[in-house]
């Protein structure tokens, strides 16, 4: 019985040594890609990394794990099939999660190629793994060929995605950081605030509601201090939110968030409970979704935080 199990798997031993080693080595390549993103001036949001960066690591690790499973000394093909089946189900579920994350993030608009390599092909690969696991005991030779094809598919998908990210950065998808100049001696003729890292601020009436809104609903990077909340905006900007007992909501827009697709941004924020303002004025009119469509100005939609301060999302030209 044990010999019958080893025969079909032994023929693939060299294949999975090569494929598994490639998966492990290419995982290191993705760390280099993430390092390049970290050095860019306009950094990706955690949501973009979860949608387009982390899955590549998972795919490479899946190939490594499949190689390890099929190189293990199993006593029955059904045991190997069970392990592969668990990996297949996990992969399919994770693929669906990736699709949802890609749809929810608003900082980048995926094109057809992105959906193909980040969503469709990985789901196909993990589905093939699941089907092969079910058929492994009855049709071991055919099932192992399908598993091998799945492993190669995930490898090439991961390589494509890593290369696509690198070329996106190289061609200006992210602005490169400017090197800070050496500190200059300040004299009386130079404005004293020229080299100061200034930040803006605004008040709220309930700091905990503000923390939940800006940190969870808007998914901004923030930290809480004794004085209030420090928001870190993409590009290096900072905004300070502080509690004020006699707070009065700002009558002007305190924060503007540029997005690639305003329809998608408004739709996602609406799902999260954000209510967009409706205007029917001579110069400013919004549609049913709360979007004012220029000219004059860009397409823009206004909404309020829990303290009544006005914010907006606007579509970049």
How many other C-beta atoms lie within 10 A of the C-beta of residue 87? 18
- Is 193 exposed, middle or buried, given 0-12, 13-18 or 19+ CB atoms closer than 10 A? exposed
Q: How far apart are CA 196 and CA 200, in angstroms?
A: 13
Tell me, what's the pLDDT at 186? 47
**Contacting residues for 203 by C-beta, under 8 A, at least 6 apart:** 241, 242, 243, 244, 247, 307
**What is the reported pLDDT for 213?**
93
Q: Who contacts 96 (Cβ-Cβ below 8 Å, separation ≥6)?
A: 123
Backbone CA torsion sign across 127, 130, 132, 134: negative
Q: Which of 199, 180, 190 is nearest to 254 (CA)?
A: 199
For residues 261, 263, 267, 268, the Cα torsion angle rounded to the nearest 10 degrees is 0
Q: Quick one: tokens of 287?
A: 């549609």
Per-residue pLDDT of the chain (317 residues; tens, 9 = 90+): 444 455 567 777 788 788 888 887 887 777 776 676 666 555 566 777 788 878 888 888 888 888 888 888 877 888 888 999 999 999 999 999 999 888 887 667 788 998 999 999 999 999 999 999 999 888 888 988 999 899 899 989 988 888 887 777 666 554 444 444 445 454 544 556 666 778 889 999 999 999 999 999 998 888 888 889 988 887 778 899 999 989 999 889 999 999 999 999 999 999 999 999 998 887 888 999 999 987 777 899 999 999 999 999 999 87
């Amino acid at each position: 019985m044990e010999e019958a199990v080893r025969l079909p798997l032994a023929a693939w031993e060299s294949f999975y040594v090569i494929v598994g080693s490639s998966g492990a080595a290419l995982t290191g390549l993705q760390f280099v890609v993430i390092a390049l993103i970290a050095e860019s001036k306009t950094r990706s949001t955690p949501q973009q990394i979860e949608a387009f960066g982390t899955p590549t690591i998972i795919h490479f690790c899946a190939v490594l794990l499949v190689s390890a499973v099929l190189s293990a000394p199993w006593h029955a093909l059904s045991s190997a099939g069970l392990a592969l089946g668990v990996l297949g189900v996990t992969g399919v579920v994770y693929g669906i999660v990736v699709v949802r994350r890609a749809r929810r993030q608003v900082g980048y608009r995926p094109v057809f190629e992105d959906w193909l390599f980040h969503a469709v092909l990985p789901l196909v690969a993990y589905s093939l793994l699941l089907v092969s696991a079910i058929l492994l005991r009855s049709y071991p030779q055919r099932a192992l060929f399908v598993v091998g094809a799945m492993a190669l598919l995930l490898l090439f998908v991961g390589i494509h995605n890593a290369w696509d990210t690198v070329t996106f950065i190289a061609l200006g998808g992210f602005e490169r950081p400017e090197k800070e100049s050496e500190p200059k001696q300040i004299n009386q003729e130079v404005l004293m605030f020229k080299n100061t890292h200034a930040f803006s601020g605004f008040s709220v009436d309930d700091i905990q509601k503000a923390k939940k809104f800006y940190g969870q609903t808007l998914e901004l990077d923030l930290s809480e201090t004794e004085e209030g909340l420090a928001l870190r905006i993409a590009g290096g900007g900072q905004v300070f939110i502080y509690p004020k007992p006699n707070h009065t909501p700002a009558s002007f827009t305190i924060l503007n968030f540029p997005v690639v697709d305003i329809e998608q941004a408004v739709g996602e924020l609406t799902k999260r409970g954000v209510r967009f303002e409706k205007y029917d004025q001579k110069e400013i009119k919004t549609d049913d979704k709360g979007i004012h469509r220029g000219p004059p100005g860009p397409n823009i939609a206004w909404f309020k935080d829990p303290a009544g301060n006005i914010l907006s999302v606007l579509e970049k030209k």
